Structure 1
Amino acid sequence: MFTKRWIVGGLTALLVGALGACGGGSGSDDSTRSVSGAGQGSSSTAQKARPTPDTVTGLRDSVRHLAKQTAKGTRPHTVTKCASASKKVRHTSSSGSGSKKKTRTWYTTERSRECSKVRSGTETYTRIVRAERWCVSLDDVGGNTAKDDVWYQVTRSAYDEARIADEHARVEFTPTGSGC
């Protein structure tokens, strides 16, 4: 028979579950919710993303594409060699006690297979000496006129945008690395 305590506990659990599903809990992450609902759901008003702290701005100086460099190399070629093995295993069982004790002995053969990698000559392979890189050089990095000719490694899409931009046009991107 249900008591009042069980009913109240069940209703409380149901209420907590419903509030959690609606996102009304106090532990919800406010950073995922938008501050204002303006512009949501309509494609005519595009919201510009705020630049991240890693974003770099400056005047386009030059661009450079460094192709991937490869070289042929050799390494030991290994193959798997397996050997079958078998061994005779002795089994015993006893029954009875004292002078009536009998011991029965029988043998079985256990088969096994052992495999190992062994060297068998050499093989050639293509190794990457230098990965493909796309680089952009900026002047006035972050508005600082003293920072000129700073090279950044960028993604292919950022490189394409900087390549078609005019000389000394303001560009903004997130670099994947520094130097070139």
Structure 2
Amino acid sequence: AHPIFSLNMSSNGHSHNEDLVEVIEHSDYALELLHDSEALILGRHTYDLFAAFWPEAATRRDLPKYMQYLAMELQSIPKRVVTTRPLEFPWQNTEVLKGPDIENTRQFLSELTGNVVLFGSPALGASLADANLINEYQLLLEPFISPQGKPAFDGAKRWQRLMLLGARRLNRDVMLLRYAPGP
């Protein structure tokens, strides 16, 4: 598998679901990333946030079409949630990868050959990074300084060098920075 960690983060390195410039370019980016992936991995907190909104979004007439398209893609892609607890809100195509350790996640990734995207979930991303299970980091740098949320890579236990693969503007204020683990 080729695991990609996609994380929205404020300019001071925090990750919080409300610190996001909601624009069509974000949805286009997420849709493209999901289209090119064979599965989605989420930490429990991120899953609960997604499951509270996205399953119904595909049919909501008050949402723009680009959000409905993203909702349909999220609905159809196989989802895995790393958690210690049963899911209160089951969502189509979702299974649990028993946590808190990442051995079940490692096994799941070893069975796949394509891209697998991890959205959000800073602590899970740090655990996967510590275990050398991330092939690419896609960091969306948001135009905020924020006290909210967790630091990006919250709980990381080891130093890791990253190599810049590319940078592009998503819109006027948001940058997408792509990195690979360094030597």
Normalised TM-score (structure 1): 0.17
In terms of fraction of residues, the more helix-rich structure is 2
Q: Which has the higher strand share?
A: 1
**TM-score (normalizing by structure 2):** 0.17
